[in-house]
Structures are given as structure tokens and as C-alpha cells.
């Protein structure tokens, strides 16, 4: 017996619409391919949010967040191909936006959200 796919119910339509709204409103962090500057860093470093380690050879894709930017400035990792961080951030999307496998989910007018910093350069912590 073959089962026919039924039309989505009202509940399924509501859930799909809600997911689409959330996806459109959620800021996406740009990602960058980085490679360690030494084998020691390759073995030790791991991105704290994603848990992503470096493979035995080559580069890894990390979110271009404050952790990654700090590691680049410290010299622990570098952008793939030896690119300069300032030049990389001047690109059209300030990096590459992650997409779902098999889907192009970049919306028109999307701008990546980097760090929000106060004019004095400090964070937004209370003192």
C-alpha cells in the first residue's frame, strides 16, 4: 500500500510560519575559515561555543565572533589564505553567512551582526 502525502494541517502551517519568522529575525554570525599558526595550537585550540576542533590538516570553519577575532589578533590562528582581518571584515557580508545544507537561507538585506561595542571600547557589563 502506498500512502499519499496529505496537505499540511493548520497547526503545521502555523509552526512553519513561526519558524520562518524566527529564522528571519535571528541574527546570524558570519563564519570564517581559520587555520592554526602551529601544530601546538592545532592540538589545543577548540572553539568554545561550537566545540569545533581543527582537523589533522587544513582549516576549520569558526564563527567570526569575539573569541575568533581575539585568536586572530593574538596570532594563534589566521584566516585561510593569509587574509587580513580588516580586509576580510570589509567584504560584502563581513565573512560568509552560514546556510542550511542544500538551502540558500540568506535573506535580501541581511547584514551580519558583529559585536556591539560602546564608544569607549568597553563591553556592556555593569560595574
Give the full edge-to-edge strand order of the sheet including 60-63. Answer: 60-63, 31-36, 77-79
Q: Is residue 108 part of a domain?
A: no
Q: Is residue 20 part of a domain?
A: no
pLDDT in tens, 69-117: 999 999 999 998 877 777 777 765 555 544 444 444 444 444 444 444 4
Q: Is residue 5 part of a domain?
A: no
Q: Is residue 11 part of a domain?
A: no
Beta bridge partners of 33: 61
Q: Which helix (H) or strand (E) holds 10?
A: helix 10-25
What domain count does the chain have? 1
Q: Is residue 116 part of a domain?
A: no
For residue 42, give its domain range: 27-100
Say whether 86 sits in a helix, a strand or coil: helix
Q: Is residue 21 part of a domain?
A: no
Q: Is residue 6 part of a domain?
A: no
| Distance, CA of 43 to CA of 45 (rounded, Å) | 6
pLDDT in tens, 110-119: 444 444 444 5
Q: Is the pTM of this model over 0.75?
A: no
Amino acid at each position: 500500500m502506498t500512502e499519499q502525502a496529505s496537505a499540511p494541517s493548520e497547526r503545521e502551517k502555523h509552526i512553519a510560519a513561526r519558524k520562518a519568522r524566527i529564522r528571519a529575525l535571528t541574527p546570524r554570525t558570519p563564519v570564517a575559515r581559520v587555520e592554526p599558526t602551529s601544530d601546538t595550537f592545532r592540538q589545543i585550540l577548540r572553539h568554545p561555543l561550537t566545540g569545533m576542533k581543527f582537523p589533522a590538516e587544513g582549516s576549520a570553519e569558526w564563527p567570526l565572533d569575539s573569541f575568533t577575532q581575539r585568536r586572530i589578533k593574538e596570532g594563534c590562528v589566521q584566516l585561510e589564505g593569509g587574509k587580513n582581518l580588516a580586509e576580510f571584515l570589509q567584504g560584502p557580508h563581513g565573512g560568509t553567512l552560514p546556510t542550511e545544507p542544500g538551502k540558500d537561507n540568506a535573506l535580501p538585506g541581511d547584514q551580519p551582526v558583529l559585536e556591539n561595542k560602546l564608544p569607549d571600547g568597553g563591553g556592556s557589563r555593569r560595574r
